[in-house]
Structure 1
Amino acid sequence: MGISVKDVNAHEFTKSLAAFLKKQGKMKIPDWAPIVKLAKYNELAPYDDDWYYTRAGRKRNGTAPSHFCRGNSSVARKVLQSLEGMKLVEKDTATGGRKLTPQGRKDLDRIAAQVNEKLNPRPKKE
């Protein structure tokens, strides 16, 4: 049985996926990406120049958030549209949301296997 995304460290997987998307060069990054704030409670744009590759989610407040903060839904929508253009994500007509394409799942599982190999190298047989 192969390695899937759920079998590896999420932080390492996210870094590897971002590197894959950047290396591929097919993801279209909007002109406004370097200067946009990701939510109204932020003062500045993200410090990381490659945030568009790594981030498409809401603010994580943990298990018991002290304040509710809405994130910028436009950013997540634009990232998903970019992934649709790369044929990694497609619209699901049954639920009205989006789902991974078979190619997208294959790419994610391949990256997960690479991350697993990097974190848990096999001993060399002599």
Structure 2
Amino acid sequence: MSMVAPTDSASRLLFVVESFGLRVIMTMFLKTETVLRDWCGSMSVSNGDLESRWKCGDFNMADYDQDEVVNGVTVRDVKPADFIKAYAEHLKRSGKIELPAWWDVVKTASFKEYSPADQDWYYIRAASIARKVYLRQYTGVGSLKKVYGGAARKGVHRQHFQKASGGLIRHILQQLEEMKVVEKCPEGVNKGGRKITSHGQQDLDRIAGQVVRA
């Protein structure tokens, strides 16, 4: 965009000052950009530099050894559906979760018409709950009832939101506690809430790494 030079003396002086200042700013910007690009290009490819390379716009997953990238992977780096599926399979293989006697007839909420059709639904819900607690510490049964709630049909009337079954969620949390994946919050923090344990965090991150490798 060209600048039109003014006619009077005062305006000319102001025009020269503004033009000079604009040139100085542009020169500093170009120098900064050059230094930044040189810095990004000179960095070694290590786990600590990946985030910086990404911020510099020079990150390509294919350029790096996948094992190096996986070392820093957490649950937040994996798509929810992929992680839940993988962790549910892990829970099923481990044999540490004991299915309740009513697992094949229970409904996950009172507004549901039928029980889940998937035979592995209990493991899937357990994996989903473990992920929720991982992402949000001190999550309780009340919060999870809202998360897994949905619209209750009222015939010709308007649908209304209804919470999910609290007994089912509580039963899953108790099983995850026995597996040392989650634990109850300290007294005075959030009564009935759970948080992820160090063992649980390592376990979930390990499964997330396996999802990235797959």
Normalising TM by the smaller chain, what interval? 0.7 to 0.9
Q: Displacement of 1:38 after TM fit?
A: 1.1
The residue number in structure 1 matching 2:183 is 90
Which structure shows the bigger proportion of residues in helix conformation? Answer: 2
Give a deviation string over 1:46-101, Cα, whole Å, max 9, x none. 0011111111551357xxxx631221111111000010111111101132210111
**Considering only aligned residues, what root-mean-square deviation do their CA atoms show, in Å?**
1.5
- Bigger CA drift: 94-103 or 5-14? 94-103
- Percentage of matched positions with identical amino acids: 43
After TM superposition, the runs of 4+ consecutive aligned structure 1 residues lying more than 2 A away are none
Matched ranges for 1:28-47 at <5 A = 28-47=98-117
**43-52 or 93-102, which deviates more:** 93-102
Retained in 1: the 8 A contact 2:149–2:161?
no
Decide which of 157, 171, 176 is 1:78's aligned counterpart: 171
In the superposition, the TM-score normalised over structure 1's length comes to: 0.84
| Distance (Å, rounded) in 2 between the aligned partners of 1:10 and 1:59 | 18
Distance in 2 of aligned mates of 1:42 and 1:99: 29
**Structure 2 counterparts to residues 1-126 of structure 1, below 5 A:** 1=47, 2-55=72-125, 56=129, 58-59=148-149, 67-93=160-186, 94-96=189-191, 97-118=193-214
* Higher relative contact order (Cα pairs below 8 Å, separated by 6+ residues): 1
Amino acid at match of 2:203: D
Distance 1:39 1:60 in 2: 9
Aligned AA for 2:85? K
Task: Supply the AA of the counterpart residue of 2:149.
Answer: K
Q: What letter matches 1:75 in structure 2?
A: L
Aligned residues: 114
Alpha-carbon deviation of 1:28? 1.6
Cα 1:12–1:60 shift into 2, 3 Å:
farther
For structure 2, list consecutive stretches of 5 or more residues without a partner in the other structure.
1-46, 48-71, 130-143, 152-158
Deviation at 1:13, TM superposition (A): 0.2
The one-letter code matched in structure 2 to 1:117 is R
- Structure 1 gaps, min length 5: 119-126
